[in-house]
Amino acid sequence: MTIAAAAVFCGSRHGNAPIYSEAAESLGRGLAEAGIRLVYGGGAVGLMGVVADSTLRAGGSVSGVIPNFLHNREVMHEGVTDLIVTDSMHDRKRLMFAQADAFLILPGGLGTFDEFMEILTWRQLSLHNKPILLVNVGGWGRFIVSALENAVEQGFANSSVLELYDVVEDVPAALERLKLFDVSEEFEETERL
């Protein structure tokens, strides 16, 4: 079975380079064209808004998940196919996890780092075996990868951690990689999250 829904973690800001918004636009369009439902943080601003708008413009389906306290700060996207308001950040991540077959990490700040690290930790703990793709647009993710490699080098993580995610250099590579994943093996331990 192919990927039916992908969670995208990305910034609530646009970043300093146009390449980031261009990547979010391309990813949204690509997901829609592939028939993959976008699951994202529910905001209408920054890269989150760009990827959602692009998916919708291309005729795709978008599920937004946003905690109530961020409703005003990130400005909820009222135009998505399905918008869910949660009580907490943890509930948001848990729901996004449950709805997604794969995870794509686009450029972002602390929230994006948090989401990536949590979903990576859950995979390390064998709570899921869903693919995680870090989309290294313009080299933005090199320091995240470097930090993970340093944790291994310093003896704080096993080298197997580096096999829990894949780095792809751009959106076309990410979309191609999504075609290769088989999600027929459902992992049933989500109740432990």
Residue listed under structure tokens 């808004």: 49
Integer Cα distance of 175 and 34 in angstroms: 8
| Alpha carbon 191 to chain centroid, angstroms | 20
Looking at residue 63, what is its pLDDT? 96
Which residues 6+ apart lie within 8 Å of 130 measured at CB?
A: 97, 100, 101, 102, 103, 123, 183, 187
* Residue 104 parent element (H or E): strand 102-105
What confidence tens digit (pLDDT) does each residue in 100-151 have?
A: 999 999 999 999 999 999 999 999 999 999 999 999 999 999 999 999 999 9
Fold of 5-180: Rossmann fold (3.40.50)
Query: Which residue ranges make up each domain of the chain?
Result: 5-180
The model's confidence at residue 11, banded by pLDDT at 50, 70 and 90, is very high
